[in-house]
Every structure is written in C-alpha cells, then in structure tokens.
Chain A
Amino acid sequence: MAQVTEQRQEALRTAVDGHKVVVVCGTGGVGKTTMSSALALDAALRGQRVLVMTIDPARRLADSLGVTGKLNSASQIDVEGLLGRAPAEGGSLHAMMLDAKGTWDSLVRRLIKDPELQARVFANRYYVRASESLSGSQEYMAMERLLEVSKSPDYDLIVLDTPPSRNALDFLEAPSRMVKMLAEGGLKWIKIAGGGRFSSNKAGRTLFGKSRAGMFSVFERFTGGEVIAGIAEFVTITGEIFEGMKVNAGEVMDLLRSDEATFLLVASPNRISLSEALYFHDRLREATIPFSGFVINRVRPPREGDLEGSREPWDVLPSRPEQTGWNEAVEALWDNHKRRVRWSSVDQHHIRALQQQCGQGPFYVEIPELEGEVHDLQALNHLIQYFR
C-alpha cells in the first residue's frame, strides 16, 4: 500500500520535470497558489531555474516571498536567506505577481504613443471596466506574460497559477473569445456605428445600409445614446491594442497544447470540490489538452490501524467514576477521536470516488491537512515532503 502511494506521488515530480510549463487549475479556495508555489520551490531546490506566476496571490504569501508590490515583473526569491537552505547547484526561484489592470495599462502605453490619445483611453469608462472586470481579461493577461517568459532562456520551468474558474477551458478559451470580440466585433462596431447615426459620413451610411442604422436606433432606445457613442470611442481608440492581442492568443494556445506543457488540477476532498474537479477533467480530456493529474489538498490522512467503532473508551483509557468529571473527559476524548477517524474516512471515500471516475491515467497526490495555514517559505518547504 505504502509503495503504491509512493509511486503515485513520484508521478507529480515526473510531471513537473518533464515539462517546461505547468498550468495549475482549480476552483476558488482549494489552494492553487500555495500548491503552485510549493511545486516551484521544490523544483528550484532540486536545481531548476523556476518561475512561478500567480494572479492576485494571498498577500501574506507575497509578503513572505518578499515580492509584495512588485507587479508584473519577475523577482528572484532569496531561498537560502529565507529558508536557511540553498537550492541545488543551478537552482533558483523567481516569482511574478500578475495584475490585470496594470497589464492593460502597460499595453496601452506600449502600443499607443500619442500621450493625448493615451489619456483618452485611460479616461474612457469602458476601458476602465474592461481592464478591471472584462471576462477573459485576467486570463488573457496571464497568457500574454506566459508567452513572453516562455521564450526567455532564463527559466527551465514555469509554474502558472491560473485564476479560479469553474471550467479549465475558460482559461484557454476566454482570451481568444475576448480578443475576437474586441478585435473583430470592435471593428464592425465602429463601422456600423459610424455608418449609422454617429457619423456625418453619408457615404458610410449608404454603404452599411439603413437596416443597421435602424438596429442601432433600437439599441439606443434601450440603453440611451451615450452607451453606443462611448463604446464606439472605446473600440476606436483601443483598436490597435486588439490587433496586437490577436496574434499572441493563438501562439499561447499552441504552446499550451504542445508537449512542453501540462495541466494539473488542485481540489479539496469534499463532494462539491471533487465534482467540480471531475467536470474540469472531463472538459480537458474532450479538448485533448495535456493533463497529468490531481493534487488533492488538505486531506485528513487515512488512519489504518485505528480502533473499530465497536470498542469502548474504557478499553483504552481507565474509568474513574469516583473522580468528578474524569469519565466525562474520557468520553469527550473518545468522541473526538472517533470524529477524527470518521473525517479521514469521509475524505478517503470522496477521493476513491474520483479515482473510480477518472481511472488509472492521471495521478492522484494527496497533501495532508497541516496545522495552521501556509503563508511562508518554511511552510511551503514542509509541504514539499508530500511530493516525494
């Protein structure tokens, strides 16, 4: 039994070592960032040059890694200083904290040279909205940076911690959806709006026909005219950016579908989380995306050799009815013990159900529930032992 577990757990390192890019997916709150950082630290300690990219990380983790406030650029983590243990020769750990809005802003600065136009973009309310909350925006930004660093010779391994998502494919599809919408849709929008009421260009109006002008008038009645004008301005002034975006998205997809990349899924050992993990897994398989396995986090470990339910507390601890509260104390401890044994069997039950559904293909690594939370390099280093 122990040997099987060991082989399975070795699979995690094999998956990491065999790829240049490891994409860590999962729903919110399962510990993706912690697991990504621990995987990166593990590989760095074993002598690889590793970059971990994460979006909106827990502040305490960023603090403890010494990368707070350094957004969108890689900084090296002083592993030896923080951990008192140097990585194997050649190994180094770098972290990059991503910020969606910041990346959009830097794209604008890079692609739009005219300062007056830049200012108009930053002031456009649809730009502000799109850069903060447009669906696909975070994912796009992560992919843009990923493509950039994957071309760099500075790293042997890139661990990408993805934004929380119900569907792993969202991460792959959201950027291209967004780019398609912005680039193609945006262009049409300008033409249509320009050919309709928002242009004095009579030729344009004739060219695009009355039906579209009519369509926009319905739309306008519904939303008020300012909306159409505002969006038209947004796509007009940001058009160049979207053209640049289009090229990159396809390239990243090629990289992520190649042999260089693999996907891992992090999940919690409960019914809702594992059913979501199963859903993720099925979508990835349907889309033939390279998938290595599951990391099930915060598992209450199996308790083989524990007492059977039929035993009495008095078989294990003495009864002292003459001492006030003694037997109550023993019974309370016994209840606590039985509860903990039951918790671990619940977790094992859920994990077995997942294994039955997904079969022998992927690996299933269980990370035990640790006391307290993982916010620093020491704690990450402690987690690593379960990767072996």
Chain B
Amino acid sequence: MSPTPLLDQRVVVVLGKGGVGKSVVSAALGMRAVAAGKRAIVAECGGAESMATLFDRPGVGYSGAELSPGLHALSITPDQAVEEYLIRMLKFRLLYEVVFRNRYVEPFMNGVLGLSDLISIGKVMDLEWSRADGTHGPDPQGPPQYDLVILDSPSTGHGLSLLRAPQTIMDITRVGPLHNNARMIRDLLADRTRVSVLLVTLAEEMPINETIELHAELAEKVDIEIAGVVVNGVPPKIFAQDDAAQHWEELQRLAEELGPQAQRVIADGQRGLRDRERAEHHIARLRESIDLPVAELPLLARRDLDPQSLLDLGEHLRWLK
C-alpha cells in the first residue's frame, strides 16, 4: 500500500528537538493545506502559544481561534483537557469535582499515572473525530470539522512520551474505560492511512544526530507512520550554474585589487559557500542514515514569517508523501 500523501493525512505530528522550527513547519503545512482548499488546525501542547506569536495575535487558548482564513489553532493545557475528558467520561460534573479534583487524587493521576499526556494526545485525536455537524466519535460519518489536524508537539523527549502515552496507560490499567480509551487513541495513531509523523531538524551536526536517534527510537517504541524529515533553515546555494561557479577563483583574486566593498561581498560569498557545504554534508549524512523522504526548507531572510512566506515554505512540503 502506498503511503497517503502528507496533505491527505488526517493528522500530522510535527516532532523534533527544541529550537529547530517545529512551529514554523506546522504553520507552513497548515497554510499549504488551506491553499489546497482544506480546513486545518494546529494544536500546541502544554499551553504553548507559538502559533499566536507567528501570526502576531494574542494567545488562542484552549478554545482556539482562526489565525487566518481556514487555518485554526488551539493551545492544549493538560488541566483543561483532563477536565473536559473526565466530565465527558463521568457524565456528571459533580462526580468529577468530588473524585478527580480531589487534591490527593489529581496529582497522582496526572503525575504518576501520566494521565495528562494521554489526555493531551487524546484531545488531538478528538479533533480528528470531530465532525462538521458538531458530533464526534471514531466512526467516520459526515464531513469532518477539520480536514487536517497538525500537532506542533513538544520537543523530543516530551513529544515522544506523548506518543507513547496510550501504550503506557494500557500497560498500567489492563481493563476499564481508561484502558479502552487509551486503546482507541493508540489504534488511531497506528492507522497509517490517517496519521503520520513529520520529523523536523536543522542541517547541523547535533540536530542531525539527534534526529537519527529519534527516528530509531520512534520506530522501535511507537507504532506510527513516519512520513519524512524536514530540514529547516538550509542556507541557500550561491551559484546556481556551473559556468557561474567557474569564475569564483578569479573573483576572489580580483577582490584584492578592488577594495574593501568588493572584499566584503567576496567574504560573504566565502562564508555562504562554507555554510552551504556544511549543511549539504549533514543532509547527506541524514539521507544515508534514514531511508525517508527529506524536504529542505530554505533559510529565510524576511523580518517576520508572514502568511505568504509560510505558504512559500509550505510549497517545499507539498511533495512529501
């Protein structure tokens, strides 16, 4: 079975180490989906509000907001997600208040049992289960509320434990409603026609090493499709054609005679070529180590990532299967 193209997936989990640009990639993917006529939502965890920052607006909160036409975002806070989930499960708010808001029970449920991780990933899956008519459930009937759900996940360690939470809870509980819910979430994550992971990294030594490790760990510990790797912030190639590159030696020699301004332009060229060479070296290592499609996003020079530049970045992701 050939994999579902990225934009035709229902859920894409954007995963990678801190500072590599997961939020930018999530936003770019969302903009790209919207341009393809889809309704998309980006979910962040732990109360993060990077989407709101990127679109220069106040936080979207747990209830979410539309950032640009067709592109929505919400910020999942574990407490609110747990409350919403348990009230739905227990049917009565009073029971929830008495049993789970209990100051002795709640910390153990969240901290020791890891319920908040399960419920956070569960909330994302709930978005997948939401239909346009306001109903929700795992049986796909009627048009969905969102065509594409993008999880801008927490950095490596926590992101991985989010994806592992359903299995962890299943192992601990063995029976009961919580166990059944965990299984539903795990089964959806494992559905290769609907859910996949997109790894994000930078073309630098440590981020590439960590991505290779993350890929191995993910493949071993979580039953989930991995769609590809996005290498963010790749320095651009300077000479597009070989007949331009052949003059490089001569230009460097000439700059000595032409004075400081020309030398500055040449020095920038030298630095740019070295940066590009290093990046290519690390991307080659990535391709050797991981048998997955790799998409390169160029390092942008714009002051702010406006909707158009996010859409431009999204173009680079379109071919990812």
A326 to B113 CA separation, bound complex (whole angstroms) = 66
Knowing A323-B247, A333-B238, A337-B264, say if A231 contacts B53 (CB, 8 Å): no
Decide: B114 and A334 in contact? CB cutoff 8 A. no
Indicate if the CB atoms of B244 and A332 lie closer than 8 Å. Answer: yes
Q: Kindly provide the distance from the CB of A170 to the nearest chain B CB, expressed in whole angstroms.
A: 10
Are A324 and B243 in contact (CB-based, < 8 A)? yes
User: Is the Cβ of A215 less than 8 Å from the Cβ of B99?
Assistant: yes
- Interface assignment of A373: CB less than 8 Å from any CB of chain B: yes
For residue B292, CB closer than 8 A to chain A, the reply is no
A234 in the interface (beta carbon within 8 A):
yes
Query: In the docked arrangement, what's the CA distance between A334 and B205, Å?
Result: 29
Asked if A222 meets B176 with Cβ closer than 8 Å, knowing A231-B113, A332-B244, the reply is: yes
Mark A314-358 against chain B: 1 for CB-CB distance below 8 A, else 0: 001110000111101110111011011011011001000000000
In the assembled complex, the CB of A216 is this many whole angstroms from the nearest CB of chain B, namely: 9
Provide the bound-state CA to CA distance between A104 and B248, in Å: 59
Q: Which stretch of A90-98, A122-130, A282-290 is in the interface? A: A122-130
> Which A residues touch B172, using CB under 8 A?
125, 226-227, 230
CB of B90, distance to nearest CB on chain A (Å): 8
Which of the 9-residue segments A27-35, A110-118, A196-204 touches chain B? A27-35
Q: How far is the CA of A275 from the CA of B114 in the complex (A)?
A: 29
- In the assembled complex, the CB of A151 is this many whole angstroms from the nearest CB of chain B, namely 29
Choose from B19, B108, B242, B247 the contact partner of A28 (Cβ within 8 Å).
B19
Of residues 35 through 65 on chain A, the ones whose CB sits less than 8 Å from some CB of chain B are 58, 60
Interface membership of A372, Cβ < 8 A: yes
Q: How far is the CB of B282 from chain A (nearest CB, A)?
A: 10
How would residues 160 to 198 of chain B score, 1 for a CB under 8 Å from any chain A CB and 0 otherwise? 010000001001111111110000000000000000000
Q: Kindly state whether residue B63 has any CB partner on chain A within 8 Å.
A: no
Q: Is the beta-carbon distance between B89 and A28 smaller than 8 angstroms?
A: no
Q: Which of B251, B261, B278 contacts A333 (CB 8 A)?
A: B251
Whether the pair B261, A307 counts as a contact (CB closer than 8 A) is: yes
| Nearest-CB residue, chain B, relative to A138 | B157
**Among A215, A234, A273, contact of B19 (Cβ-Cβ < 8 Å):** A273
B176 cross-chain contacts in A, Cβ below 8 A? 221-224
- Contact at A317–B251, with CB atoms within 8 Å? yes
A83 part of interface (Cβ distance < 8 Å): no
B234 interface residue (CB < 8 Å to A): no
Produce 1/0 per residue, B285-311, CB < 8 A to A. 000000000000001011111000000
Asked whether any CB of chain B lies closer than 8 Å to the CB of A192, the reply is yes
Contact of B206 among A58, A126, A226 (CB under 8 A): A58
Contact of B254 (CB < 8 Å), options: A189, A234, A317? A317
Bound complex: CA A311 to CA B18 (Å): 39
**Is A30 a contact of B19 with CB atoms below 8 Å?**
yes
What is the CB-to-nearest-CB distance from A41 to chain B, in angstroms, rounded to a whole number?
Answer: 19
Binds A, one of B31-39, B43-51, B138-146: B43-51
A181 at the interface (CB under 8 A from B): yes
B236 within 8 A of A: yes
Whether A325 touches B244, Cβ cut-off 8 Å, given contacts A28-B18, A371-B274, A373-B205, is yes
- A372 adjacent to B278 (CB under 8 Å): yes
Contact A318 to B254, CB < 8 A, known contacts A189-B108, A349-B303:
yes
Q: Are B301 and A342 in contact (CB under 8 A)?
A: yes
Task: Tell me whether B132 is interfacial, beta carbon within 8 Å.
Answer: no
- 1/0 per position for B259-283, CB-CB distance to A under 8 A? 0011011101101101100100000
Residues of A within 8 A of B241 (CB): 325, 328
Q: Does A8 contact B (CB under 8 A)?
A: no
Q: Is the CB of B105 within 8 A of A130?
A: no
B95, B111, B236: the one contacting A339 at CB < 8 Å is B236
Across the interface, A325 reaches (CB within 8 A) one of B24, B174, B246, B261, namely B246
Task: State whether B112 touches A129 (Cβ < 8 A).
Answer: yes
Q: A346 and B265: CB pair below 8 A? A: no
A176 within 8 A of B: no
Write out, one digit per residue, whether chain A residues 268-284 have a CB within 8 A of any chain B CB (1) or not (0).
10011101000000000
Asked if B245 CB lies within 8 Å of chain A CBs, one says yes
Residues of A within 8 A of B242 (CB): 325
Q: How far is the CA of A216 from the CA of B206 in the complex (A)?
A: 48
Within 8 Å by CB of B178, from A29, A130, A223, A328, lies A223
Smallest CB gap from A130: residue in B:
B112
Known: A164-B18, A325-B244. A181 touches B108 (CB 8 A): yes
Report A132-144 CB contacts with B as 1/0, cut-off 8 Å.
0111100000000
Which residues of the partner chain A approach B251 to less than 8 Å between Cβ atoms? 317, 329-330, 333
Which of these, B20, B54, B247, B255, contacts A29 with CB under 8 Å? Answer: B20
Q: Tell me which of B53, B114, B206 contacts A60 (CB under 8 A).
A: B206
Whether B238 and A332, one on each chain, are in contact in the complex, defined by CB atoms closer than 8 angstroms, is yes
- Cβ A227 vs Cβ B271 within 8 A: no
Residue B17 CB within 8 A of the other chain: yes
Q: Which residues of B contact A329 (CB under 8 A)?
A: 239, 244-248, 251
Q: Which residue of A lies closest to B246 (CB)?
A: A325
B19 and A333 within 8 A (CB)? no
On chain B, the residues within 8 Å of A223 by CB distance are 113, 173, 176, 178-179
- B240 close to A (CB within 8 Å): yes
Are the C-beta atoms of A219 and B247 separated by less than 8 Å?
no
A227 to B168, CA, bound (A): 12
Q: A residues within 8 Å of B by Cβ?
A: 27-30, 58, 60, 125-126, 129-130, 133-136, 164, 166, 178, 181, 184-185, 188-189, 192, 215, 218-219, 221-224, 226-227, 230-231, 234, 268, 271-273, 275, 306-307, 313, 316-318, 323-326, 328-330, 332-334, 336-337, 339-340, 342-343, 345-346, 349, 371-373, 375
A and B contact pairs by CB, cutoff 8 A, 30 listed: A28-B19, A30-B18, A129-B112, A130-B112, A136-B111, A189-B108, A215-B98, A219-B99, A221-B177, A222-B89, A223-B113, A226-B172, A227-B113, A227-B173, A231-B108, A272-B24, A317-B262, A325-B242, A325-B243, A325-B244, A328-B239, A328-B243, A329-B246, A329-B251, A332-B239, A336-B238, A339-B301, A345-B303, A371-B274, A373-B205
Q: Which 5 A-B pairs have the closest CB atoms?
A: A28-B18, A29-B19, A325-B243, A29-B18, A181-B107
